[in-house]
Structure 1
């Protein structure tokens, strides 16, 4: 092999390395996540970022962020906003962490978005996932990532839904649900401080436990319809839209 061939191979290798590196960076936020607790599977299409096809750049864009519960109501929100708003949805099993905040920044780069609706926290109940004393600062940092990347975007926070006893959907789980209440309380404190409006998803369903599916975490279609209606109404409010008539 002559010297010219060696040089060409080296250059080609460097180019390939740069391309692969860029690809890995671009896909890091979209890599297939894993949830070790099988009870917390995603309703709907599964984990990942679902992006709308943009054909009219004048329409507002909305990003729905959430855990397995979002998988149950995102389709309904998208349908209700069809023709008026483009909806992207990032369904993921993450909970408050610096890693999650980094991934959030990468997803926001797919925008810009006019409204970001956040419904996270269900995957943060097992002990050790969120270190004691870090829930509030990590949640605040999460909101600050959105404000830094999307200073003009309206943010809406939705509380985590109730958790019931497995096989007894009309009973609240005494341990896990207590954690959800505590996390919702701390999140509400952060949102009040940052003046971010909230959707009380917990309050909407806590007196409708008959709509729970019985697997502790997920809900029947009637419950998801309630959450979808609440999310849609709040998005329209923040966009200043009063009607969905085309």
Structure 2
């Protein structure tokens, strides 16, 4: 026979479990932007003798991708996965795994940053999601050299974001993970903060700015090419 005292503790336990479940679901829920997109690019012809390089990022990455592709022509097969999906959004993990499964190649180097979106997520949520993001990259590119690119500064802040204050906070959180994981760093923030004349709008850069970024990306990648 179940006593009233026992039933009370069962009720409290169930209530606590439901509360925890609801909190986890809230933290892992997607918070889409007005416009959502993905952009995937692969080589026209894959040279099986060359190493495979993957750039992961957003529109900033998409803009310097052509420079990287051109600079590494004949030295690497260069792939791109760019998306508006940000850290904190559970879709990013699925999208990266689906992309890797579709390509079916072994990536030797992964250069990554998904920092210019997801401003509905707090810096705390962003930081909490970073270790899982790195784990997914290691899963889709087993044994690959990872290179993290810091998020670039913006010309003008907007609400709820981006702003350079928030970008710097996120870069600092990410850098702690990179240090702990012994992952190489490509300081794109430090590069572009020195070139305020290269903005095309409040966030993106003119072709000469993207070209400058691409050359630094290549410098970070080529030391790992065999």
State the superposition RMSD in angstroms: 2.1
> What residue in structure 2 maps to residue 195 of structure 1?
182
Specify every segment of 5 or more residues in structure 2 that has no aligned partner in the other structure, as ranges. 1-31
Alignment of 1:225-240 (within 5 A): 225-240=211-226
Specify every segment of 5 or more residues in structure 1 that has no aligned partner in the other structure, as ranges. 1-33, 167-173, 241-246
Matched, 1:59 2:50: yes
- Distance across 2 between alignment mates of 1:164 and 1:55: 38
Distance change (3 Å), C-alpha of 1:175 and 1:78: closer
Distance change (3 Å), C-alpha of 1:165 and 1:134: closer
Q: Deviations over 1:49-103 (max 9, x none)?
A: 1111344312101111111111211001000001111011112111102221121
Matched, 1:185 2:172: yes
SS at match of 1:133: helix
- Distance across 2 between alignment mates of 1:220 and 1:56: 31
- Distance across 2 between alignment mates of 1:36 and 1:190: 30
Pairwise CA distance, 1:234: 1.1
Q: TM-score, normalised by structure 2?
A: 0.77
> What residue in structure 2 maps to residue 36 of structure 1?
34
Distance change (3 Å), C-alpha of 1:149 and 1:55: closer
> What residue in structure 2 maps to residue 115 of structure 1?
109
Alignment of 1:112-191 (within 5 A): 112-124=106-118, 126=119, 128=120, 130-131=121-122, 133-165=124-156, 176-191=163-178
Pairwise CA distance, 1:175: 6.8
8 Å CA contact retained: 2:47, 2:77: no
- List 4+ stretches of structure 1 deviating above 6 A: none
> What residue in structure 2 maps to residue 12 of structure 1?
none
Q: Deviations over 1:173-221 (max 9, x none)?
A: x9711111111111111111111001000000112111112x2101112
- Distance across 1 between alignment mates of 2:177 and 2:197: 31
- Distance across 1 between alignment mates of 2:74 and 2:45: 11
> What residue in structure 2 maps to residue 11 of structure 1?
none
Alignment of 1:42-121 (within 5 A): 47-96=38-87, 97-109=89-101, 110=103, 111-121=105-115
- Distance across 1 between alignment mates of 2:46 and 2:145: 23
8 Å CA contact retained: 1:98, 1:138: no
